[in-house]
Amino acid sequence: MGTAVLRLGRAGRYWGYHDCRFPRRTQRTPASPGTAVPTVPVVVSGAGAASATVVEVFDRARRIVLERVSAECLAVGGHGVVAAAVTTAPLAAQPDCLEFKVIGTAVRARGSRVRLTTPFTSHLDGHGFAKLLAAGWVPVELLVGMSIGVRHDDSFSRSRKLSSRNSEISGLSDLVRAVRADARRQLQLHGAERGGNGLILADGGAVRVWKEICTRSTGGDDELSFHDHLAETTLTGSTIAQFDAPPPKKRTLQVLPLGARGGEPHSRPAAAAGSDGQRRRRGVQGDRGAT
């Protein structure tokens, strides 16, 4: 187990992470049809936005905690940690302090006398770990990729919202897309620090979106346009590396369960109105592919 409590310093009134970089005092384009779309930047933490400091704190916390977990694992002679769960929770006594906690089980490799300087860490449970290992893959490091993005709520996106016609709100689509892409990129960057061949995600990474008052707004008649849209997402996963497994690899044993349709009750994601949690059950039950 490793834990660390960090205080998130506030810069200014808000947490200082939503500077939208919307050019101040530009002529706000009137929301009449035919006007050119003003280019409103989407700023994400991975590209040096003000929110980068917050994301950096989270990343620092992850590193500190993983270091402690690793030290504890090495102290008991382990080679790695499986079923590591990351939790982040504000401290009840002081809400501006966050506790980062990783709890997992240290495991030792039989038949290896090599002492690792850094043990592997992974969110995978025993089943997953064993299957991976038997197929010639070893987990490397537990990763957390986070991104916060900000986009100014310009009149363009607003006028669309009020109409009764169908339309995509492209500004918001851009924001959410940028945040997701940034979080993925962060994961890959972190993963490359220690190396590996691939990355298995723990959860799909729900995106949280909300609105804040724009810190760049100077007041005025048009109150609605003084908002920023913010989006935040966190992805958790583990990097894995392929090694030359001693042959012969086992073939997958085919089992057709004669249970509910498809063998996996409630197994397929609803095509719509789904939630991120729904998907976790895929592959958990009805292990047609167990080695």
Partner 1 sequence: MTKAEPDGNDLAAAAIRRLTGLKPGNPRAIFTSDLSVNEFLLVREAGFRPIGMVLGSSIYHVGLQVGRWSRNQELTTLSQAMYHARDLAMTRMEAEAAALRADGIVGVRLTVEPRAFGEDVAEFLAIGTAVKAGTPPPGGGQWRNSKGRPFTSDLSGQDFWTLIQAGYAPLGMVMGTCVYHIAHQKMSAVLPSLGKNIEIAQFTQALYDARELAMARMQAEAAELHAEGIVGVQLNAHNHRWGGHTTEFFSIGTAIRPLRADHHIQRPTMVLSLDG
Q: Which is nearer to partner 1, 87 or 242 (CB)?
A: 242
Q: Which is nearer to partner 1, 152 or 229 (CB)?
A: 229
Selection from 59, 53, 104 nearest residue 80 by Cα: 104
The Cα–Cα gap between 166 and 160 comes to 9
Check: CB of residue 82 under 8 Å from CB of residue 105.
Answer: yes
Q: Which is nearer to partner 1, 7 or 282 (CB)?
A: 282
Nearest approach, Cβ of residue 5 and partner 1 (Å): 30
Nearest approach, Cβ of residue 136 and partner 1 (Å): 8
Nearest approach, Cβ of residue 176 and partner 1 (Å): 5
Q: Which is nearer to partner 1, 26 or 275 (CB)?
A: 275
Nearest approach, Cβ of residue 273 and partner 1 (Å): 5
Q: Give the contacts of 14 (CB within 8 A, at least 6 positions apart).
A: 212, 215
Q: How many other CB atoms sit within 10 Å of the CB of residue 192?
A: 11
Check: CB of residue 155 under 8 Å from CB of residue 28.
Answer: yes
To 10 degrees, what angle do helices 170-194 and 52-75 make?
30
The residue type at 123 = H
Q: Which is nearer to partner 1, 32 or 163 (CB)?
A: 163
Nearest approach, Cβ of residue 17 and partner 1 (Å): 18
Q: Which is nearer to partner 1, 5 or 192 (CB)?
A: 192
The Cα–Cα gap between 34 and 82 comes to 57
Radius of gyration of the chain (CA): 23
Check: CB of residue 261 under 8 Å from CB of residue 268.
Answer: no
- Three-class SS state of 202: coil
